[in-house]
Amino acid sequence: MASETIWHGDGREQALLKHILNHPNASELRGRPDSILSEIDRWALKHNLCMMTIGPDRSQPIIDVIRSTTPKTMAELGGYIGYSAIKFASEIRKTTTTTTAGIARYLSLESDVQYASVAQALVEFAGLADLVHIHVGSSAESLAKLAAEGVEIDVLFIDHNEDLYVRDLRLAEKYALLHLGSVVVADNVGGPRARDYVQMVTKNEGGAAGFKYRSRTLPYVLPDGQQDAVLITNLV
């Protein structure tokens, strides 16, 4: 019987951070998000490690969403080590116009203190600390705090615990964090734990806030060979 793939939590996150910060070419990597992410990918491949990162291929449809919507505020549920925050915040910076300069922000919500610490260090190393704001705590707590601050989310990336996808989308709607025209992107929806979420947003019946859902599914293969998918949902 094949052993189950280990994705995180065995010290690889801290080892990766040490590798990046102490890299022989650290001065050349610093402030270059794309180079940092490429080095993360190379390091994981070299050590034959599967990481809970979005990767270069799976991230492309989300990059396309960013380019088409030019969000002022993008948020993610499940920041892990900051890979997606660096990837998408860097793209937001590239697409930011003079009219939105200084306004755009990327909100990364992560429940694990250690992962958030690694993410903060990598985000700072990438030169994106002014754009990326990391919130540590449960997703429910963090969403409530964003609501109290009057945040409106243009693009929401859901990539944490699949068992919480339905609850947290409902919370985002309840707290009026989403609006007409918002886009919700959910990763890892190919498994049984995300089945209720997939059914909810593909029935086109809409959510509690009165929105209609228009969704499309993009299949992909995980690094360990498993089939999975990304689900992109427009609120109309």
Task: Establish if 192 belongs to a structural domain.
Answer: no
Does residue 181 belong to any structural domain of this protein?
no
CA distances from 110 to 12, 36, 58, 74, 176 (A): 17, 21, 20, 14, 20
Q: So what's the pLDDT on residue 215? A: 96
The whole-angstrom distance between residue 9's C-alpha and the CA centroid of its chain comes to 18
Domain count, the chain: 1
Q: Is residue 206 part of a domain?
A: no
Evaluate whether residue 216 is within a structural domain.
no
Distance CA 161, CA 41 (A): 23
In this structure, is residue 4 part of a structural domain?
no
pLDDT at 1: 42
**Any domain includes 36:** yes
Please list the ranges in the chain whose pLDDT falls under 50: 1-2, 98-99
SS3 54: coil
Q: What is the pLDDT of residue 204?
A: 67
The pLDDT value recorded for residue 7 is 77
List, for residues 51-87, the tens digit of each pLDDT value.
Answer: 889 988 889 999 999 999 999 999 999 999 999 999 9
Buried b / exposed e over 44-66, threshold 16 CB at 10 Å, is beeeebbbbbbbeebbeebbebb
Domain that holds residue 32: 12-174
SS3 49: coil
pLDDT for res 6: 66
49 dihedral zone (left: phi>0; alpha: psi -120 to 50; beta): beta
Residue 101 in domain: yes
> Mind listing the pLDDT tens digit for each residue in 111-141?
999 999 999 999 999 999 999 999 999 999 9
**Which residue bears the tokens 């734990």?**
193
What CATH number is attached to the domain comprising 49? 3.40.50.150
